[in-house]
Structure 1
Amino acid sequence: MATGMDQMLGMCMSAGGLVIFLYYSIWILLLPFVESSHIIQTFFLPREYAIIIPVIAGVIVLLLLSLFATYILLRKKKKKE
């Protein structure tokens, strides 16, 4: 059973993911149709970062997953010896 703290953490993580999804969706899907002089443009980074940030995040996630898998395999190999 999940405790109250686990549920709160889960809700915070879900809310954070939703906020990031909405921000990115607005940034990519709606902002190209808004004039560049409009005030809403000040709340968003330049569009080049819309590609750079997810690529860097993906590379970091893949690196961490690879390191974790390597750690597990090496640990498993040491147990057999």
Structure 2
Amino acid sequence: MELADRAVGFLLSFISISIFAYYTFWVIILPFVDSDHFIHKYFLPQDYAILIPVFAGVTLLCFLCTFVGFVMLKSKQKAK
């Protein structure tokens, strides 16, 4: 079981670092590269650099509020 936990941890760390590196390059370095450079075809337009994190944050906040609401309803039903 310990080996499986390490493998999952390594995979999650690798994915997180990859996403961080991609986003950092996309937001910080890419605006300084010429627009006709071939590297631009591997990245989405700059508008999405703000829209994707905002959408992810709103979605996470909605799921968190829904979870807290269900927990509060269940604890209220148990108290009766």
TM interval, short-chain normalised: over 0.9
Q: Does 2:16 correspond to 1:36?
A: no
> Residue 53 of structure 1 corresponds to which residue in structure 2?
52
> How far off is 1:80 after superposition?
0.4
Query: Counterparts of 2:43 and 2:29 in 1: how far apart (Å)?
Result: 12
* Structure 1 position 71 matched with structure 2 position 70: yes
Residue 13 of structure 2 corresponds to 14
Give the aligned length: 80
Q: Secondary structure at 2:36's aligned position in 1?
A: coil
Matched letter for residue 42 of structure 1: K
Q: Which runs of 5+ in 2 are unaligned?
A: none
3-state SS, counterpart of residue 47 of structure 1: coil
Aligned residues: CA RMSD: 1.0
Distance between the aligned counterparts of 1:8 and 1:68, measured in 2? 29
1: distance between equivalents of 2:6 and 2:46?
Answer: 35
- Displacement, 1:3? 2.1
In the TM superposition, what whole-angstrom CA distance separates every residue of 1:26-64 from its partner, at most 9, and x where no partner exists?
000000100010000010000000000000000000001
Q: TM-score normalized by structure 1? A: 0.94
Identity %: 41
Query: CA separation in 2, counterparts of 1:16 and 1:77?
Result: 39
Please give the alpha-carbon distance, in whole angstroms, between the structure 2 residues aligned to 1:4 and 1:74.
39
